[in-house]
Structure 1
Amino acid sequence: MVSYRKRGEVWQYEISYKDRDGQYKKLRRSGFRLKSDAELAASKVRTDFVDVRQYRNAELSLADFFERWLKLYKSGSVSDITLRKYTNTLKHIRQIFGDIKLKDLSRSLYQDRINYFAQTHAVRTVSTFHKQIRAALLDALDEHVIIFDPTRKTVITGKSVQPKRKALDYEDWQKLIHNLDSKDQDNLIIYIAAVTGMRYAEILGITPADLDLSSGLLRINKTWDYKYRTGFKKTKNRASIRTIPLDSKTTRILNDYILDHSVAQNTPLFLTDGVAPVSARINKVLTEKLNQLGLPRITFHGLRHTHASVLLYQGVSVLSVSKRLGHSNITTTQSTYLHIIKELEEQDNDKIINILNTL
C-alpha cells in the first residue's frame, strides 16, 4: 500500500509492507517538490524491487552486504584458509568502496574502484578480489536486491610484477644440498624438500613409523597442521597418499636424526615441545642459505619445483614424477612443467632425426 502526504513545502511517499517475520513496516522517502515526483519515485521502487524488503537490503553498503553474504554462504562451508581470504577481501572492500550503497553501485563506479585497487596490486590479486565480490553481487541480483550486474564486463588490470625464479637448476640444486647441515632441524627440512619434492605440511607429518629403513621407503599418508595447530590432517588429495623411495644417504640421515632426538614411533620428527616450525621461518632460513651460497632466490615451494625439474631433465618420465609429487593426475604435472616438457621434446626430436639419419 502506498500513501502520499505533503510535509511543509515537499511531498513524501510511504510504502507499507511486511518484513520476514510478518511484522508491518513502513518505507518513507520525502523531499519531492511535486506529488507527481513522489508518485514516480514510489512507482520505481515497487517496479524495480519486487519485494520492498529487498529495497531495504539495497540500502546496505557493499561492505555490509558482503559481510552478511560471507556469514550466510561461506562461514562453515569453506576451509579456514579460504575463509581468511574472503575476510581479507571484506577488509579491502571497506577500504576501497567505503560506504557506497548497493543501489548506487554502477558499472563505471565499480570499474573505477577496481582500477584504484589495481594500482597497488598484481593482476592475479585483483582478479581474485573481483571474483569474490562478483559472486556476492550475482546472488544479490538473483534475490532482486539489485536490478543489474555492476561487475559485468569489468576490465582487470594490475601492477606489473617481475617474474620470480621458481626453481634452481641442477648444479645449483646440488650445491644447496651439499651445503645443508643435516644435524640442524631447519636445514634438514629444506634438505628433505629438495630430495623428495614433498609439500611442507607433508614433511611435518613424517613420523618414524612412516619410514621403512630396510628398504629405503617413505610412506606419505597424512600432513601436519602447522597453521592452526590442530594436529594430523588428511593429505591434499587421494593421490597424495603415496610411497616414495629414498636414496641411501637420505635414509641414513633420517635414521640418525630419529636416534639422536629419540623420536617416538608415531610422533612427527620436527616438533619442538609439540609445536612445528612455521613456514615463514623455514623460508627465511632458506633465503639466508641461498644468499650465503650466491644462489638465486626461490621459495620453499620452489624446492618442490626444483626436484621435479631435475628429475624431468634427467630423463625420468612425467608419469613417475607425477606419482612422486602426489599430483591428482598427470595433466597437473604436464601443465605445471609444460616448458620443460617442450624443451625435452625438442631434444627428443633431434635424437629421432639422428637415429633416422644412420639408416
Structure 2
Amino acid sequence: MVSYRKRGDVWQYEISYKDITGQYKKLRRSGFRLKSEAELAASQVRTDFVDVRQYRDADLSLAQYFERWIQLYKVHSVSDITLRKYTNTLQHIRIIFGDIKLRDITKSLYQDRINYFAQTHAMRTVATFHKQIRAALLDALDERVITTDPTRKTVITGQPVRSKKKALDFGELQTLLHTLNPANCDELIIYVAAVTGMRYAEILGLTPADIHTNKSLVDINKTWDYKYRTGFKKTKTAASNRQISLDRKTAILLQDYIQAHNISPHDPVFLRNGVAPVSAEINKALTSKLFEDHLPRITFHGLRHTHASVLLYQGVSVLSVSKRLGHSNITTTQSTYLHVIKELEQQDNDKIINVLNTL
C-alpha cells in the first residue's frame, strides 16, 4: 500500500509492507518537488524490487550485507578455516568499501575499489577477495536486492609475488634466526622449526613435559590437530616418534617462554587463548619476517627443508638427518634431498682425487 502527503513544500511517499517476521513496517522517502515525482519514485521502487524488503536490503552497506550473507550461507556449512577466510574478507570490505551502500555500488566504483586492494596484495589474493564478494552480490542479484551485477567483467590485477625457494642457505638461515623475537609466539614457532626440522603439527603438540632443558633434548610423541581442533593426535608415522637433541640456546628460550606464560606441564606450549594458529597464519608471519630481512620467500615447511639441507652440507650423515626428521626410512630422505646429496657426492669425489694425488 502506497500513500502520499505533502510536508511543507515537498512531497513524501510511504509504502507499507510486512517484514520477514510478519510485522508491518513503513518505507518513507521525501524531498520531491511535485507529487508526480513522488509517485514515479514509489512506482520505480515497486517495479525494481518485487518485495520492498529487498529495497531496504539495498540500503545496507556492502559490509553489512556480506556479514549477514556469511551468517546465512556459510556459518554451519563450511569448515572453521574456510569461515575465517570469509571473515577476513569482511574485514577488508569494511576498510575498502566503508559505508558504501549496495544500491550505490556501480561497476566502475567496484573496479576502483578492487584496484585499490590490488595495490598491496598479490593477484591470487585479489582474485579470492573478488570471488567471495561476487558470490554474495550474485545472490543479492538473484533476490533482486540489486538490479545489476557490478562485479561483471572485473579486471583482476595485483602485486608480483616473489619467487619462492625450497630452502634457505646457511647464511640466510643465520640472518633469520638472529632477527626473530623468541618472546613472540609465532616467531618462536618459526625459530623452533628452523633449528629442529620438526613438522608444524609436531611443534604445536609440544608440552613442557616433552622438553628436557637440563639434557637439551625434546620428545616428539604426538601432534596437535590445528585444522579441526580435536586436540592431540598421533604422529604421522611410528618413525615420527623420536627424541632429538636441542642446542642449549633453544632449550633455554623454550624454558623462558614456558615460565613467562605459566604453561602447565601437559598443556601445549604454543596455543594462544586455547587455540593454535592455523598454517596460513604462521606462513603469513614467516613471509612477513622474510620480507623484513630481505630474504628469499619460503614456506613454513621450507624451514624443515632448510634444517635438513644445512645439516647435510655441514657433513651430518644422511642416516642421522633421516632419524632427526622422523622419516620412515633413509630412502625418503635420500629422494627428498637428492640434489643436495649429488652436490655433496661431487665434493667427495674431488676430495678422493686430492687424496689419491698425494699418494
Question: Which TM-score tier does this pair reach, normalised by the shorter chain?
Answer: 0.5 to 0.7
Tell me the CA shift for residue 54 of structure 1: 1.2
> Is this contact kept in 2: 1:166–1:299, CA < 8 A?
yes
Give the aligned residue type for 1:115: N
Shift of 1:115: 1.0
User: What is the aligned partner in structure 2 of residue 148 from structure 1?
Assistant: 148
* Structure 1 residues 24 and 164: alpha-carbon distance in aligned structure 2, compared to 1, 3 A threshold: same
Contact 2:54 2:144 in 1 (8 A): yes
Distance 1:276 1:72 in 2: 25
1:11–1:32: 8 Å Cα contact kept in structure 2?
yes
Superposition map of 1:1-359 within 5 A: 1-75=1-75, 78=78, 82-168=82-168, 198-199=199-200, 201-206=201-206, 222-223=224-225, 233=231, 241-244=236-239, 251=244, 267=266, 298=298, 300-304=300-304, 306=306
Is the contact made by 1:197 and 1:308 (CA closer than 8 Å) also made in structure 2? no
In 2, distance between residues paired with 1:92 and 1:166? 31
**1:6, distance to aligned residue in structure 2 (A):** 4.0
Aligned sequence identity (%): 61
Which one-letter code corresponds to 2:238 in the other structure? T
Q: Give the direction of change, closer, same or farther, for the CA distance of 1:299–1:38 in structure 2 (3 Å limit).
A: same
How many residue pairs get matched?
Answer: 300
Q: Which amino acid aligns with 1:198?
A: R
- One-letter identity of the residue aligned with 1:160: P
> C-alpha displacement at 1:157, in angstroms?
1.0
Q: Structure 1 residues 49 and 189 mapped into 2: Cα distance closer, same or farther (>3 Å)? A: closer
Secondary structure of the residue aligned to 1:65 is helix
> Residues of 2 paired with 1:58 and 1:221: CA distance?
48
- Seen in structure 2, the aligned counterparts of structure 1 residues 104 and 305 have a Cα distance that, compared at 3 Å, is farther
Q: Secondary structure at the match of 2:20?
A: coil
Contact 1:203 1:223 in 2 (8 A): no
The SS at the match of 1:30 is strand
Following the alignment from structure 2 to structure 1, what is the Cα–Cα distance between the partners of residues 270 and 295?
A: 29
SS of equivalent residue, structure 1 residue 14: strand
8 Å contact kept, 1:270–1:276? no
Name the CA shift for 1:32/1:295 in 2 (closer, same or farther; >3 Å): closer
- TM-score normalised to structure 1 length: 0.58
Shift of 1:7: 4.0
The alignment partner of 1:44 has SS state of: helix
Say which SS state the counterpart of residue 31 (structure 2) adopts. strand
1:187: how far off? 9.2
- Per-residue deviation, 1:86: 3.4
**What is the CA-CA distance between 1:58 and the residue it aligns to?**
0.8
Give the direction of change, closer, same or farther, for the CA distance of 1:269–1:53 in structure 2 (3 Å limit).
Answer: closer
Q: What CA distance in whole angstroms lies between the structure 1 residues aligned with 2:102 and 2:327?
A: 46
In 2, Cα distance between the equivalents of 1:22 and 1:53? 11
Tell me how far 1:132 sits from its aligned partner.
Answer: 2.5
Extract unaligned runs of 5+ from structure 2.
211-218, 256-264, 311-317, 319-325, 329-335, 340-359
Distance 1:81 1:129 in 2: 16
Distance 1:135 1:308, change over 3 A: farther
* Counterpart Cα distance in 1 of 2:127 and 2:97: 16
In structure 2, give the amino acid aligned to 1:124.
Answer: R
Give the Cα–Cα distance (whole angstroms) in 1 for the partners of residues 171 and 306 of structure 2: 10
Q: Is contact 2:222–2:232 with CA below 8 Å preserved after alignment?
A: no
Shift of 1:55: 0.8
Query: Aligned AA for 1:233?
Result: G
Consecutive unaligned residues in structure 1, runs of 5 or more: 211-216, 311-315, 317-323, 327-336, 344-359
Taking the aligned partners of 1:52 and 1:220, their CA distance within structure 2 comes to: 57
After superposition, the C-alpha distances for 1:166-211 in whole angstroms (9 at most, x for unaligned) are 4236x889x98xx99xxx9x99985766776622x3333157999x
Q: Deviations over 1:132-186 (max 9, x none)?
A: 22232223223322222221221111233433444236x889x98xx99xxx9x9
Q: Displacement, 1:277? A: 10
Contact 1:190-1:300 at 8 Å conserved across structures:
no
| 8 A Cα contact 1:221 1:242, kept in partner | no
Tell whether the 8 Å contact from 2:137 to 2:149 is kept in structure 1 after alignment.
yes
* 3-state SS of paired residue (2:26): strand
Partners of 1:35 and 1:325 lie apart in 2 by 81
